[in-house]
Structure 1
Amino acid sequence: MKNRYLPTALGLYLNYLVHGMGVILISLNMPHLEQQWQTDAAGVSIVISSLGIGRLVVLFLSGMLSDRFGRKPFIYLGMACYLLFFFGILKSQTIAVAYAFGFLAGIANSFLDSGTYPALMESFPNSPSTANILIKAFVSAGQFLLPFIISLLVWSNAWFGWSFVVAACIMILNAIFLLKRPFPDQDQKKAGKANNPASGASNQVAAAPRMSRSEILDIACFTLYGYISMATFYLVSQWLSQYGQFVAGMEYASAIKLLSLYTVGSLSCVFITAALVKKTVSSHTLLMLYTFISFIALLSVCLWPTPMMVAGFAFVIGFSAAGGVMQLALTIMAMKFPQAKGKATGIFYSAGSLATFTIPLITAELSHTSIASIMWFDTGLAAAGFALALIIGVRQFAGAHFAVKSAQV
């Protein structure tokens, strides 16, 4: 039977196509914004950093509120904040004002995440991992399309701001499209009221049961994995070109192309993983496998830093570390706590956002020693990530085995 939430899912994915554009709009329009804000590249970089700060500040809270008040309100809050960002950046004349709108874009990302990931899992309960991994594909599509849009504007000598306007228009049209679309949590609430009209507000605000030690351990493992998985591929994305040039001895032109191989690997994994989890391969099996591949790839490139090895590494690490492994882990965590999917999203991605702040500070210190030491540090992170993936996987298998035994009894 046709899933009635397919149009809803399409709209949710389109938001992330726009989000993919949003996260690089400032950097790709840097020369024009330097003039507009009367600053230099360092000043624009400060504004770019505000997106990450805004995301971290409200992500955990928005996840909890999404569980309480529903997915759709937070998705629309995210879209509204993004629209303010698109038009606000164009009107900003100083770094301070632009920073405020960049902070708002980070908040928009948090709102979208807290509503979208749970909504997709609830829309496709039989394939939640596939539904969430496809978000990565739409983000990459947005980042792929935007440079072509900007190149067209440059070729036609048009105003640079049209790139912001195009993103905003897509978001506005999508907001109209989603307005009447059904959401699973809304349907469940309506069904609950119809089946039990006498239920009062007291049932909705009943105190949640206390968490067991096992659940606390699960949350700790997933939170640490959220930090480490983000740190692993974020570090590579920032230092891959420098490693190729200064450690492996590649020419500059060849070194910068490593990121293209990295991106191809990432996109390849998205579609392969989506096909695998739709068949018979479990999400936690892939989580362990991909994390192990990341560790082996990093160890190999540290031991044998040749141009050919680094080129192969770029594709493999993009595939295993940046191709949706975080979405897999989040899906497993959210399904572990089905009544708190928004809260799980908030916790997991808050840990990932924290990595984007702390890892640059650590690698900045390591770079004073050598760039090679940065990759060795990432190898250690990947080893810790693999250990966590094993713990998560073993606990998943143990829980499933216990459930089968209980059913048989």
Structure 2
Amino acid sequence: MSDGGGGAEPLDRYPEHGRGDVLHRGQLLRVRGRSVAWVPPLLLLVAIAVVDWNTTGEFRIISWIVLVPGISAAICGVWATAVFAALSVVTYLLVDSAWPHQFQTGVPDFILVATGGILAVLACAVRVRGERRMLHMQDVAETTRRTVLRPLPPGFGGLDHSAAYLAADTEARVGGDFYDIQPGPGRTWVLIGDVQGKGLGAVEAAAALLGTFREAGFHEPSLAAVAERLETRMLRHRRHTTALGREDGDRFATALLLGFPADATNAVEMVNFGHEPPLAVGPGGVRPLPQGDRLPLGLGELAPGRPQAVRRMELGPGETLLLFTDGVTESRDGAGRFYPLVTELARAVAADPRTAEPQRLVAHVRDGTLRHSGGHLGDDTTIFAVRRAAGRATGRGPRYGLDRR
């Protein structure tokens, strides 16, 4: 999950989407930062020994001590499991030998306890290795996510912004949704999109489009030129994957490209490639902006020669543009009903106009989407809110020592 501008209210009522069981277990077995995983097997060992000592000879449960290293293998480390395996054997010998010969469980149960301890240590080693591999994969996925969806500094490009990304693939933690802000000559560009399909192929296509957007947005002076570069890049990517013989050679992407001109503080330009239209959310309410009339990126060859349709729209004071992918509008509850985004937002803004602020807006939509779907997302979900920062001009990002003349 990513929050580009800092959430107003953390999502504490739901588990963080994409967090692994390893991390959950590690948090549950810690008290004030210290591990207490050794407590349950120790209590079980003591309880079995005490109960066996205080019952009659006809009721011997000392062989149950084989459960101790088994439980330790599930929640402790390898060395702790080995210690509990040894303690179980020693405790078994001490308690069993304290009884008269006719009541002793004898060698067979001793072999059971010893063998169970050895197997528990081996099982723990396999478990720990798997958890380390999982944590490594999560680190790789997190690095990939930050490479594709780079962190955006506060006020980047003269825009206040906030974002939340929820990947449907909880292991990968990154999918085909993408978004970014890029300062350019005389304006700031904003992009959000959704690559068709899932998996690494969708991530690859999203990375290709974002790379082109960042370069084109830095150099190109017009929205139409940036849009054309994105279309060309998607077509090239499709041809490349087709030449490799891959089955995703027909992949496309919906996208929404915005431009915030520096000389018009109340205007925004837009090219919509078949994406969900944005919502203008302000103290006065919620209004949807016009639908797009362009084909998705990668399908431009179906309408050759058609120019990019650039729309220019006015924004009211304090209005924030809410951009989102279909993971929001297509989330369903248990009865199959879609999430009523516009209705919920209108109600929230009427109750508290501050909901229109980017951080609060993203937090509200994120909470509402997860609440409506019960935390079960059927698709990657991106929520991105942007508006002009008060007192800052757009299009004045870092120049990196380049000359645009």
**TM-score, with length taken from structure 1:** 0.23
- Highest RCO, 1 vs 2 (Cα 8 Å, sep ≥ 6): 1
Q: Which has the higher helix share?
A: 1
- Say which one has the larger Rg: 2
Q: Which has the higher strand share?
A: 2
